[in-house]
Every structure is written in C-alpha cells, then in structure tokens.
C-alpha cells in the first residue's frame, strides 16, 4: 500500500499549502470509511447519500488515521489537525492513485465485460500467482472509487495487478483504463447488464472497448471471439496490440473440447494442448472465463502444463455458481450475486446438463436494469427452460412472474409457482425438496436471493 509523507502527498495531488508541523507525518494506506481505519491510514471523506464523511475526520484521526483530506467547500476544516484541504476529495483520491500507479513497476491486467469480470479476475490472479507477486481487486471494487482504492493498496514490490473495471455508462471504462494503464486486457462478453443505461448491446460493446484506450504499447487484447460486436470492432483495430480470442468455436485462439460438468466443477481439454484441465467452478461460461485467463497467463509466461496447479487451489468470489448443501441434504447452486438474461441462461444450461439428481428446481428472481424490454427478456428466459430436465420453477419478484408466464407455455401448471414473499416461497419449496434435489438460486443483486440459500442451509 501507498506509504508517503504528507508533504509528498500534497505534491502528488498538486496541492500547494503550508503543512507546517505536519509535513513529515507518514501515512500508509488509504481508506474512505472511518469504521475501517487502520493505523497510519490517510482518511478520505466523501459526501454520501446518507451522511457527509467529513463528520468522521476527527474520529478517524482519533482511531489511528495519520492524516485526512478535507473538501474545500465543507466549512470549518480542523486546521489544528493533519488535514490537507483539496478542491474535491474524490478527484484527489483518483489523482493520488494515478500518480502512485505511475511510480510503480507493476504490470496491470484490466478485465471488463458484461458478465464474468470478478470470476475471470480471480482465475487470472490465481494463474499469475504461480510465478509472480500478484494483487487483485478485492470483492467487486471495480468503479471510479473502487479501482483507485485498489491501486493505492498495491505494494511497491507487487509485480502484476489484476484489476476489474466496471461500468454502467459511456466513458467510465475509459477513465479507469487511462488511470490503470494495463499491459493486457480481457473483455469477457457483451451481455445485457446495464442495458437500461446504455440502450443497446452495440453501445455496451463500444463502452467495454474503451478499455483498449489505456492499453500500454505492444499490449495484449483478449476477447470473446464468438461475439460479433467485438470481432467486428477489433478486426480493423489499428493499434500495435496483439489480439487473442477465446470462445466455443474453432476459429478462436483457444476453444474447449470434451467438456464434462460434475459436482466438483468443470473438466475440459483445449485445442492444441495435450492436457485435461480441472476447474473447480461450475458452468461452461466459467470455462470460457478460464480460457481468457489462460491466454493472459500464457502471455506473461505461465506454461499451460502448470495451470492445473493454480486451478486446484482456486477460490472464486462467493455467490458465483457456489455449490453448497442445504439442511435436507439437497445441493444448492448459489448464483445469487446478480443476473442478466445471458448469465441466467448460462446458469440454467449448467443445471440442465448436470446428472445424478432425482429432481432439479430453479428459484429465479427479477433481472434488473434491463430497460424497456425487461418483460420480454424475462418471458424468453422462461420459454427456454427445458421442462424435460427441470422439475419445478419458483420465481420471486414482479418481473419473475414473466419468467413463469414463459415457462407455463410448456410446463405443467403445478410445476411453476410465482411469489412476491420469500417466506412463502421457502415454505412451498421445502415441501418438495429432498436429499436428491438440486436447486439453482439466481437473481439480481437487489433481490438478495442469498437469503433463501441461507434459510435452506439453516433448516
């Protein structure tokens, strides 16, 4: 993490005022939450939706913060304390991250895409960790606040930083990539996430491709080669970057062969390689995420024959195709972190393909932020559920009712239930599950369907 004196900090963020007796105070690390202060931190207050973080500056310093920033338009800066007054605390945080990044020797891998950023980040970091000192985005800290905080948390001897770059509107990825300056980038896919803000998949593709604007010279672009919106935009790319693709079809640099899905994860081979890979993550879509990560790892010199060593200890961030056991011995795939039509269909495809269960149940919640076509998106998810492999569909939420409507076109009526109350859904669900049941739980973050998983685990 960043370690500087206040004098050095002031210079990095181009603030010119007399720090007096505080000039040589040393800070280590940065936090934006006084409840998470670690000794020596720089505390950066933000005016939030609930409160103004400036209320907590003195508390932060009492708790062990070494210094704090203070936004100029907030009255009564505690000038008797080690505080640097700035125009805008968020912009100061971002500039500090930009300057700190430029001092480091670290190579950056930037990862964006509609789905799979966090999972691919975890896999990429695991593979690179075979040979390098690696740090990565923690959790989902992937935006204009989270990415700068991640950069400020980098150690000076970190060799590769794997950074997730999220967005929900045009220009956000460009900002992040020009701050992080990656040597390699991954674009996982173009789905429907944040369609409400972008308006079309074409504009989503344009927004994701902003990531190449910050790419270092002779960098690497890895992208989903089966996605025409990416292929068409990159085939005439006039930069000096190398391009590699991954996907299901044989025109890609890497594509999977002999895929097998079991409770322990995904087993697959890859074209041109004589090995079988054992990925402890469910779903063909996660195999594709792994292929993207493998291409980047190979670019940094990790031998393909060593990659299973990383996969064997891989732990991906929770609530992404996380297989757990419920109180009745049933197996539950907790895929409740978020959902869009592409990720919902990918998860359903996985459940449909798994064998060894007497019955399979889908518990599906609303998919949010899809824009004016949201009801037809939900309806088509329901239409595509295979009633010869799925025994029950339980939906949760108003939009979930459209999934049910689409399913009722070909499901027996008593096998499709819609709910607006989680407790009622749980009561009815418990009536049909047993130790030979597999349940998929998936919905947007706002639906908090992990609460259903937690209740099933406690029963």
Ligand X SMILES: Nc1ncnc2c1ncn2[C@@H]1O[C@H](COP(=O)(O)OP(=O)(O)OP(=O)(O)O)[C@@H](O)[C@H]1O
Ligand Y SMILES: CC(=O)N[C@H]1[C@@H](OP(=O)(O)OP(=O)(O)OC[C@H]2O[C@@H](n3ccc(=O)[nH]c3=O)[C@H](O)[C@@H]2O)O[C@H](CO)[C@@H](O)[C@@H]1O[C@H](C)C(=O)N[C@@H](C)C(=O)N[C@H](CCC(=O)N[C@@H](CCC[C@@H](N)C(=O)O)C(=O)O)C(=O)O
Binding site members for ATP? 113-119
Among the residue ranges 7-15, 266-274, 377-385, 440-448, the one whose residues contact ligand LVM2DEV6 (CB under 6 A): 440-448
- Selection from ligand X, ligand LVM2DEV6, ligand Y, none that 75 binds (CB < 5 to 8 A by kind) is none
In 3D space, the residue among 358, 423, 373 whose CA is nearest the CA of residue 394 turns out to be: 423
Among the residue ranges 13-21, 164-172, 405-413, 435-443, the one whose residues contact ligand Y (CB under 6 A): 164-172
Position 441 contacts ligand LVM2DEV6 (CB under 6 A): no
- Closer to ligand Y by Cβ: residue 40 or 239: 40
Among the residue ranges 3-11, 31-39, 307-315, 333-341, the one whose residues contact ligand X (CB under 6 A): 333-341
Residues 385 and 347: their CA atoms lie apart, in Å, by 11
Question: What does the angle CA 252 – CA 256 – CA 260 come to, to the nearest 5 degrees?
Answer: 165
Tell which one of 42, 57, 234, 368 touches ligand LVM2DEV6 (CB under 6 A): 368
Question: What does the angle CA 294 – CA 296 – CA 300 come to, to the nearest 5 degrees?
Answer: 110
Q: Helix, strand or coil for residue 161?
A: strand
Binding mask 122-151 for ligand Y (x = CB under 6 A): -----------------xxxxx-xx--x--
Among the residue ranges 16-24, 42-50, 256-264, 309-317, the one whose residues contact ligand Y (CB under 6 A): 42-50
Q: Are 422 and 346 in contact (CB under 8 A)?
A: no
Q: How many other C-beta atoms are found inside a 10 Å radius of the C-beta of residue 72?
A: 11
Tell which one of 1, 2, 41, 56 touches ligand Y (CB under 6 A): 56
Tell which one of 179, 339, 364, 393 touches ligand LVM2DEV6 (CB under 6 A): 339
The site for ligand Y, by CB under 6 A, has a size of 24
Among the residue ranges 64-72, 131-139, 249-257, 281-289, the one whose residues contact ligand X (CB under 6 A): 281-289
Q: Helix, strand or coil for residue 140?
A: coil
Residues 238 and 243: their CA atoms lie apart, in Å, by 11
Question: What does the angle CA 354 – CA 304 – CA 271 come to, to the nearest 5 degrees?
Answer: 60
Tell which one of 282, 283, 444, 453 touches ligand LVM2DEV6 (CB under 6 A): 444
Residues 397 and 402: their CA atoms lie apart, in Å, by 10
- Closer to ligand X by Cβ: residue 86 or 291: 291
Residues 194 and 117: their CA atoms lie apart, in Å, by 14
Tell which one of 34, 338, 342, 437 touches ligand LVM2DEV6 (CB under 6 A): 338
Q: How far is CA 99 from the centre of its chain?
A: 25
Residues 439 and 330: their CA atoms lie apart, in Å, by 8
The site for ligand LVM2DEV6, by CB under 6 A, has a size of 9
- Selection from ligand X, ligand LVM2DEV6, ligand Y, none that 143 binds (CB < 5 to 8 A by kind) is ligand Y
Q: Tokens in use for 438?
A: 């597999």
Scanning the structure block, which residue is given the tokens 């390689």? 273
Residues 363 and 417: their CA atoms lie apart, in Å, by 10
Q: How far is CA 24 from the centre of its chain?
A: 38
Tell which one of 31, 150, 183, 188 touches ligand X (CB under 6 A): 188
**Site residues for ligand Y per CB under 6 A:** 32-35, 46, 48-51, 53, 56, 139-143, 145-146, 149, 166-169, 172
């Amino acid at each position: 993490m960043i370690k500087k004196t206040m004098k050095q900090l002031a210079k990095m963020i181009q603030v010119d005022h007399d720090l007096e007796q505080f000039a040589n105070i040393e800070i280590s690390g940065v936090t934006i939450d006084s409840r998470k202060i670690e000794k020596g931190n720089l505390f950066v207050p933000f005016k939030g939706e609930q409160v103004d973080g400036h209320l907590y500056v003195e508390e932060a310093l009492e708790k062990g913060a070494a210094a704090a920033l203070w936004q100029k338009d907030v009255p009564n800066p505690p000038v008797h304390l080690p505080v640097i007054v700035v125009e805008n605390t968020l912009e100061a945080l971002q500039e500090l991250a930009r300057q700190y990044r430029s001092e480091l020797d670290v190579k950056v891998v930037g990862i964006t895409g509609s789905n799979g950023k966090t999972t691919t980040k975890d896999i990429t970091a695991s593979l690179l960790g075979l040979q390098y000192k690696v740090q990565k985005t923690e959790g989902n800290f992937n935006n204009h606040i989270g990415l700068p905080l991640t950069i400020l948390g980098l150690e000076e001897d970190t060799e590769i930083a794997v950074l997730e770059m999220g967005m929900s509107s045009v220009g956000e990825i460009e900002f992040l990539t020009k701050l992080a300056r990656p040597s390699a980038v991954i674009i996982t896919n173009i789905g429907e996430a944040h369609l409400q803000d972008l308006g079309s998949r074409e504009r989503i593709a344009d927004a994701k491709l902003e990531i190449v604007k910050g790419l270092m010279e002779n960098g690497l672009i890895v992208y989903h080669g089966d996605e025409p919106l990416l292929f068409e935009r990159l085939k005439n790319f006039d930069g000096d970057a190398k391009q590699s693709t991954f996907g299901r079809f044989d025109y890609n640099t890497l594509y999977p062969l002999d895929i097998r899905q079991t409770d322990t994860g995904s087993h697959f081979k890859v074209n041109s390689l004589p090995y079988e890979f054992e990925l402890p993550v469910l779903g063909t879509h996660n195999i594709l995420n792994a292929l993207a990560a493998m291409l980047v790892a190979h670019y940094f010199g990790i031998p393909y024959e060593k990659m299973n060593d990383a996969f064997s200890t891989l732990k991906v961030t929770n609530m992404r195709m996380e297989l757990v056991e419920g109180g009745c011995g049933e197996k539950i795939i907790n895929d409740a972190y978020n959902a869009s039509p592409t990720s919902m269909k990918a998860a359903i495809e996985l459940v449909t393909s798994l064998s060894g269960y007497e019955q399979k149940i889908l518990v599906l919640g609303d998919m949010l932020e899809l824009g004016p076509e949201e009801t037809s998106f939900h309806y088509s998810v329901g239409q595509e559920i295979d009633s010869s492999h799925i025994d029950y569909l339980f939906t949760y939420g108003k939009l979930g009712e459209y999934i049910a409507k689409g399913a009722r076109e070909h499901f027996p009526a008593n096998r499709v239930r819609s709910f607006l109350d989680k407790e009622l859904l749980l009561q009815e669900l418990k009536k049909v599950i047993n130790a030979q049941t597999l349940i998929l739980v998936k919905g947007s973050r706002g639906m908090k369907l992990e609460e259903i998983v937690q209740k099933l685990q406690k029963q």
